[in-house]
A and B are shown apart, each in its own frame.
Chain A
Amino acid sequence: MHVPDGFINAPVSLAAGAVAATAVAVSLRGARRELDERTAPLAGLVAAFVFAVQMLNFPVAAGTSGHLLGGALAAILVGPYTGVLCISVVLLMQGVLFADGGLTALGVNVCDMAVVTTVVAYALFRLLATVLPRRRSSVTAAAFVAALVSVPAAAGAFTLLYALGGTTDVPIGKVFTAMVGVHVLIGLGEAAITALTVGAVVAVRPDLVYGARGLAKPLELRRADGTVIEPVISPVAPRPVRRLALVGLLAALALAGFVSYYASTSPDGLEKVAHDKGIDSKAEEHAAKDSPLADYQVKDVGDARISGGLAGVIGVGATLAVGTGVFLTVRRRRSRAAAAPAGSEAV
């Protein structure tokens, strides 16, 4: 999926480059938190590992073979920030040294292959890891699902960039169907291999797998007669808020995705009335009527019901992302405001 030069026009390439640069800057900070001063050697060697693993060919059927993309694998093994960094560095080196993927398309490539795959895979992995029972097999299962979804998600992100700045006028619906269709198949292979690889590492060195850190049992101290010594520091109890949020999210997705499938397509009450009484004759069309999600239908997706469901899921996702972003910003600002007086006292 390495995009060459000239596939996406110059303005969108530059914008994607800016987004990619921001994502890399954020990851640089985050990776320092994940690895502290070991960042450079460890992230470098993991990048070399991803680079090597992309050369490992997996035979599919007689004659054909595929290889791993590695975004989901890196995110689960070393954490999302380091994962983004490693894949970005691999893409940068591939672009500069091997001319694989255009230089101006570097931003586009980093956006959809490094950022989208890693972030989607890790978010999904964390979500599943909290829901599933704490066992080794659930880490493998979560890795499977995360990798499976991450590849079509990257294809979807590519389609979005293509819709914004594609240089050919192939209809978006066709591009979307072709890209996502092919990448669901690729995703199946990616998922199987990622799950098997994560399983192999978890079996030998579970402490190395970033995504399985909560798996280890706390140390149990026993006296000579076998009685257990009560630990002094009790582990933090899981907060009920998290479970509530999770159930809410699942319910919202289920409603948006599946229930809207069966929802009535006739106009809602107000629209109906307005239409009957002729009061909407002057109503102006909404400025975003040409947006790909206008009228809660995904453009160019044929079946009205599937289209509505898809739009619902995308809408819930986008709302959640914006909401979480606002929440985090507010919380950070508040905690900073709370920390400021304490800091000034110390000085």
Chain B
Amino acid sequence: MGAGHAHKLYRHARSPVHALPPHCKIAAVFCFVLVVVATPREALWAFGLYALLLAVVTAAARVPAAFLLRRLLIEVPFVAFAVLLPFVAQGERVTVWGLSLSESGLWGAWNILAKGTLGVAASVLLASTTELRALLLGLQRLRMPPLLVQIASFMIRYGDVVTDEMRRMRIARESRGFTARGVRHWKVLATSAGALFIRSYERGERVHLAMVSRGYTGTMPVIDEVTATRAQWTYAAALPLAALAVCLTGWMLT
């Protein structure tokens, strides 16, 4: 049972980005994405500069480019949606390669593609340079309610256990010759989901009893208090501040 110690999205390395306190990184990524979303879409060059900024961070974090690009595949469904936009949007039509496309639709598609990709890349960078536990501690440092952080940490800790439970049930089904082929088999799968719920809930009750017997009173003690120095905050703020400069220039020029 080696699961649960590190999530597979995290890439262990020693780099200045890994060493930053988690709450600085979360705040920086959030501000960066917010700035990107607020940028006017006509400023094409601004998005190029943002991509360059992220590339610099990637290099500093020693995350291989191939790893980052592979993780970007998650946004494929929305790419499909963006490709449809020029065909359904209103407004002036332009003819490209013999196809009649809406100009505002093209802008909209570009807008979603550029901003969505930058957002995904920023979150992937955050997840691959920050350990899960540190991420949750960082959220707590940023004044997220402690109860919510606890729920999230339980979800992450037991996510693998519950998923494994589901995998064992699947193996049990398949070893009895079951293959789900259509709507007729929904009943079997739904019964599995029901059994999974009962097992998860009962496990939750057992975990709670075990915690109470060890002195749990409703809050988890924080053992390692992470604090950030001013230098670390400045270092983390470099990314969103540079992005803000680009964004403001973009607004002035367009």
Contact = CB atoms under 8 A, between A and B. Distances in A.
Given A40-B154, A97-B127, A102-B116, A169 B194 contact: no
Contacts, number: 256
A327 interface: no
A199 B104 CA distance: 49
Given A96-B127, A168-B111, A174-B88, A46 B201 contact: yes
A210 B189 CA distance: 22
A212 interface: no
Nearest to B79: A4
Q: Please report whether the interface of chain B is mostly helix, strand, loop or mixed according to DSSP.
A: helix
B94 interface: no
B54 interface: no
B45 interface: no
A103 B116 contact: no
A167 B108 contact: yes
Contact of A99 (B37, B127, B180, B216): B127
B248 interface: no
A245 interface: no
Interface stretch (A48-56, A127-135, A262-270): A48-56
B112 interface: yes
A24 B148 contact: yes
Contacts of A200: 190-191, 193-195
A10 B34 contact: yes
Interface in B161-206: 161-163, 165-166, 180-183, 185-187, 189-198, 200-201, 203-205
Interface in A86-143: 86, 88-90, 92-93, 95-100, 102-104
A220 interface: no
B152 A93 contact: yes
Interface in A196-238: 196-201, 204-205, 208
A40 B37 CA distance: 34
A39 B116 contact: no
B151 A100 contact: no
- Nearest 6 A/B pairs, CB to CB: A44-B154, A6-B115, A168-B108, A200-B194, A5-B119, A196-B190
